[in-house]
Amino acid sequence: MNKEFYIRNRSNFSKEMKDNSIAVFFSGTFVRDTCDQFIYPFSVDRNFYYLTGIDRENMILVISKIDNVAGEYLYIPQVDELYEKWNAVFLRSDEAKNKSGIANVQYLESFEKDFAKKMFYDMTVENAYIFSHYSELGEFENLNKAFAQKIRRQYPAVNIINSLSIMTKLRNIKTEEEINEIKSAVDLTNNALNFIMKTLRPGIFEYEIKSHYIHQLSMKKSRPRFRSVIAAGSNALILHYNESNYQTKDGDMVLMDLGATNNWYVSDITRTYPVNGKYTDRQKELYKIVLEAQMVAMDEMKIGSTEDNVNAAIKSFYAKALKSIKLIKDDIDVNNYYFHGSGHSIGLDLHDLRMPRKEIVENSVYTVEPGLYIAEEGLGIRIEDNVVVTKNGLINLSEGILKTTNDIENFMNS
């Protein structure tokens, strides 16, 4: 991304602000792992990154709109030469300006004084935008919560507004640059999955598969976005299984729910493979049903529809398909074998900001991930792809990741 992308994002945000308002965004801080160590690498607040392109800790972005004139100010830590000898080089002012396109870059020590000045400047600041993932303002988290409480104490006349709705409107609709970043993350997962398919064999441990995946991403300067789900045999019945200690045996399938990062943009892909390179007839029968359910879901994934509509289409299909193989008698019994949603939006976050009522809009990017989980047979199957919703239909970003049983078997045995 170039700085023009972030300049445009800030401009779009300020256009959505009420007049005589300020907005404050924090980049975040390191989280301590033990009493004397930090967790590395640092994970930046995604809204801050979306608006600045900077992924460094302890920074503050202020966007103002006074008398319909926009302003923007970035506060960065003062350089600490001793810290640099031990940990990392600080971002300099010129670097921050070049990355973000923000001309007014100050040190953090100026923030409190500058903020007070803005709040009292002609007494025109009426609103302060602070972000929370929750619609209720009482549910602010971490730095945002502390800052919101401070404003309430020191400036009780100022109205605090959650910037969630603005950020959702901006981030849910992906630009071409963002779609390309997500596609690159998808390709990283594809590369790793192709490697894994060649290593699968009865007797391999789940943790070995996981280590192969992490290594393949590391070799491409990436890393998993979330805890990789490597669930073989009956472990695939657990949606977020994470123990990874099971040793596979002949006849097992392994369900892998995996993600990669590319400039903080993510992929989220699930595939279900036979560890011995060949599905049983029963596994093929059930896999085909899940694959057809995904096609039904994709047909419903269109502008103006909703995630709930997509999931209803999946369940309606399953009701017929599972009756045809005598797995269920009544439609309601589908819930015994499929009990999660159809998918979610992805972007800078794994579960990215999405529209109210889960409405599907143009140029949003979603996962489509139906599954079947049959406890009495000890198996689970899920197939997950990442798609862009356009006015001309879906673009499947993960189309190149092998998905049919024939293609998977042929590749594994080639």
Same domain, 73 and 117: yes
Tally the domains of the chain: 2
Structure confidence by residue, pLDDT tens digits, 125-141: 899 999 987 655 444 45
Q: Residues 197-208: pLDDT tens digits?
A: 999 999 999 999
Is the peptide bond preceding residue 41 cis, with omega within 30 degrees of 0?
yes
Assign 43 a pLDDT band (cuts: 50, 70, 90).
confident
Q: What is the pLDDT of residue 37?
A: 59
Domain boundary among 172, 187, 208: 172
Is the distance from CB of 302 to CB of 360 less than 8 angstroms?
yes
Query: How far is the C-alpha of 180 from the C-alpha of 106, rounded, in Å?
Result: 33
Q: Which of 145, 172, 199 finishes a domain?
A: 172
Residue 162's domain is classified under what CATH number? 3.40.350.10
* DSSP per residue, 222-258: ---SS--EEEEGGGGGSTT-----PBP-TT-EEEEEE
Give the contacts of 251 (CB within 8 A, at least 6 positions apart). Answer: 202, 274, 276, 280
84 exposed, middle or buried (CB, 10 Å; 0-12, 13-18, 19+)?
Answer: exposed
Amino acid at 279: Y
Whichever domain contains 346, its CATH number is: 3.90.230.10
pLDDT range class, residue 30, cuts 50, 70, 90: confident
Same-domain status, 149 and 245: no
Q: Are residues 151 and 196 in the same domain?
A: no
Task: Please answer whether residues 263 and 1 qualify as being in contact, where contact means their C-beta atoms are separated by less than 8 angstroms.
Answer: yes
Would you say residue 297 has pLDDT above 90? Answer: yes
- Whether residue 126 sits in one domain with residue 228: no
Token pair, residue 323, equals 């009756």
Q: Domain check: are 65 and 27 in the same one?
A: yes
Q: Are residues 162 and 258 in the same domain?
A: no
Domain check: are 151 and 191 in the same one?
no
Residues 378 and 358 in one domain: yes
- The kind and range of the H/E element at 408 are helix 405-412
pTM of the full predicted structure?
0.92
Indicate whether 81 pLDDT > 50: yes
Position 251 pLDDT exceeds 50: yes
pLDDT higher for 357 or 15?
Answer: 15
CA-to-CA dists, residue 287 to 236, 272, 371, 383, angstroms: 13, 9, 9, 9
Hey, which of 66-70, 135-139, 155-159, 188-192 has the most confident mean pLDDT?
Answer: 188-192
Which class for 329: exposed (0-12), middle (13-18), buried (19 or more C-beta within 10 A)?
exposed
Residues 302, 342 share a domain: yes
**Left (φ > 0), alpha (ψ -120 to 50) or beta: where does 399 sit?**
alpha
Helix (H) or strand (E) holding 3: helix 3-16
* 360 contacts: CB under 8 Å, gap ≥ 6: 301, 302, 303, 304, 305, 306, 307, 310, 366, 389
Q: Is the per-residue pLDDT at 120 higher than 80?
A: no
Task: Please say which residue of 172, 195, 218 terminates a domain.
Answer: 172
Residues 14 and 112 placed together within one structural domain of the fold: yes
| Three-point CA angle 367, 186, 249, nearest 5° | 85
Packed helices 405-412 and 281-300: angle between N→C axes, nearest 10 degrees: 130
Percent pLDDT > 70 in the chain is 94
pLDDT averaged over every residue in the chain: 93
Structural domain that includes position 262? 176-412
Q: Enter the tokens of residue 132.
A: 């929370």
Amino acid 80: pLDDT: 86
> Do 147 and 213 share a domain, yes or no?
no
Q: Give residue 359's identity as a one-letter amino acid code.
A: E
Q: Are residues 187 and 137 in the same domain?
A: no
Mean pLDDT for 334-345 is 97
Q: What is the pLDDT of residue 155?
A: 87
